[in-house]
Amino acid sequence: MGTLMLLDTATLYYRAFYGMPETVTAPDGTPVNAIRGLLDAIGRLVREHQPARLIACLDADWRPAFRVAAIPSYKAHRAEEDGTEQTPPGLAVQIPLITQLLTAAGIATAEHEGYEADDVIATLATRAASGAGGSGPVPVDVVTGDRDLFQLADDARGIRVLYTIKGLGKLDAIDEKAVSDKYHIPPGTYADFAVLRGDPSDGLPGVPGIGEKTAAALITAFGDLETLTHALDAGHGGFPAGSRKKLEAARGYLDIAPAVVRTATDVPLPEVDGTLPARPPDPELLSELGTALGLGSSLSRFRAAVLAEA
């Protein structure tokens, strides 16, 4: 079995939107910079990595209720008054068009109500790497611009992250060792480290006064967050100077934050094949969209790379 490639689609089209000017438009003036950038990125990924299967994972719920219930500040600064996500108007108009194009081209998509794309990716990656379905373990590449998904890197199970460094033109292959080397933490502990450090971009406070270096030192000293909290509750030593009081003050947060930071691996998704199509299931719609949106060479390159019929 070849590699399964899972796309964190929203982070890719956001990168594309900000990486190309909004002056890239369709004949009617509709911005198509995110669409063009995403098509080029998918085509490049398929050419360079030759996945056997590819699934574009989507956010059915960008701010799931179970995470907000645990930490109300979760992504709160990115929410409109009606609860929707703040999205630049020039990008908002392109998102439904992206979904139409992917469907017309035969690119499999996956999403589930009440979960983020991160959870969908984690579930599909876990299934594939564990050999669920009887086909045997399959290596997985997760393509994202979100470091939260570093927690999925698993050398033993063949899961790695292809991380967009700048725009969509360059990817950094992140395996479990790379995460450990970058953050100076034991393998497989990125989520625990992220709980302590926090992430302002997601409204996750972390432990006040505990920065990245101290968070890494704590996880290294205790091995994981569970062992750390047991040691804290038992009054054991081994804490860096000044950190015990900060951790004790944040004890309630340490109980609830892991459920917010860790991706769900049990989303009740149906089976998704993801085999790259030999030809688009709706070639007429694909051609119509390409013409209406003035996608020209971007769509041609995409078809040549992804669709065997081209």
State the angle between helix axes of 283-292 and 95-105 in degrees (0 to 180), rounded to the nearest 10: 150
Strand extents, DSSP E, 87-198: 108-110, 140-144, 159-166, 170-174
User: How far apart, in whole angstroms, are the C-alpha atoms of residue 209 and residue 206?
Assistant: 9
User: Residue 166: what pLDDT?
Assistant: 75
Q: What is the DSSP letter of 2?
A: -
Q: What integer is the mean pLDDT of 88-95?
A: 97
Cα-Cα end-to-end distance for the chain? 24
Q: Where are the domains of the chain?
A: 4-176+264-306, 190-261
At the topology level of CATH, where does 190-261 sit?
DNA polymerase; domain 1 (1.10.150)
Q: What integer is the mean pLDDT of 290-309?
A: 91
90 contacts 17 by C-beta, under 8 angstroms: yes
- The most distant pair of C-alpha atoms in the chain lies apart, rounded to whole Å, by 68
User: Residue 136: what pLDDT?
Assistant: 84
* Tens of pLDDT, residues 153-202: 999 999 999 999 876 778 999 999 999 999 999 999 999 999 999 999 99
pLDDT exceeds 80 at position 27: yes
In sequence order, what are the beta bridge partners of 172?
163
Is the Cα torsion angle 149, 55, 38, 100 positive or negative in sign? negative
* Tens of pLDDT, residues 245-299: 999 999 999 999 999 999 999 999 999 999 999 899 999 999 999 999 999 999 9
48 contacts 55 by C-beta, under 8 angstroms: no
At the topology level of CATH, where does 4-176+264-306 sit?
Rossmann fold (3.40.50)
User: How far apart, in whole angstroms, are the C-alpha atoms of residue 38 and residue 9?
Assistant: 8
Q: How confident is the model at residue 310 (pLDDT cuts 50, 70, 90)?
A: very low
User: How far apart, in whole angstroms, are the C-alpha atoms of residue 227 and residue 125?
Assistant: 27
Residue 77 phi, psi (nearest 5):
-70, -10
Average pLDDT, the chain: 94
What share of the chain in percent tops pLDDT 70? Answer: 98
What share of the chain in percent tops pLDDT 90? Answer: 91
pTM: 0.95
pLDDT exceeds 90 at position 45: yes
Token pair in block for residue 276: 């790259």
Q: How confident is the model at residue 46 (pLDDT cuts 50, 70, 90)?
A: very high
Strand extents, DSSP E, the chain: 4-8, 53-57, 108-110, 140-144, 159-166, 170-174
Instruction: Enumerate residues 6+ apart whose C-beta is below 8 A from 284.
Output: none
User: How far apart, in whole angstroms, are the C-alpha atoms of residue 9 and residue 57?
Assistant: 6
Q: What integer is the mean pLDDT of 129-151?
A: 90
pLDDT exceeds 60 at position 106: yes
* Tens of pLDDT, residues 202-213: 999 999 999 999
Question: Tokens 């899961």 map to which residue?
Answer: 159
User: How far apart, in whole angstroms, are the C-alpha atoms of residue 258 and residue 268?
Assistant: 20
Q: How confident is the model at residue 309 (pLDDT cuts 50, 70, 90)?
A: low
Q: What integer is the mean pLDDT of 80-107?
A: 96
* Tens of pLDDT, residues 61-78: 999 999 999 999 999 999
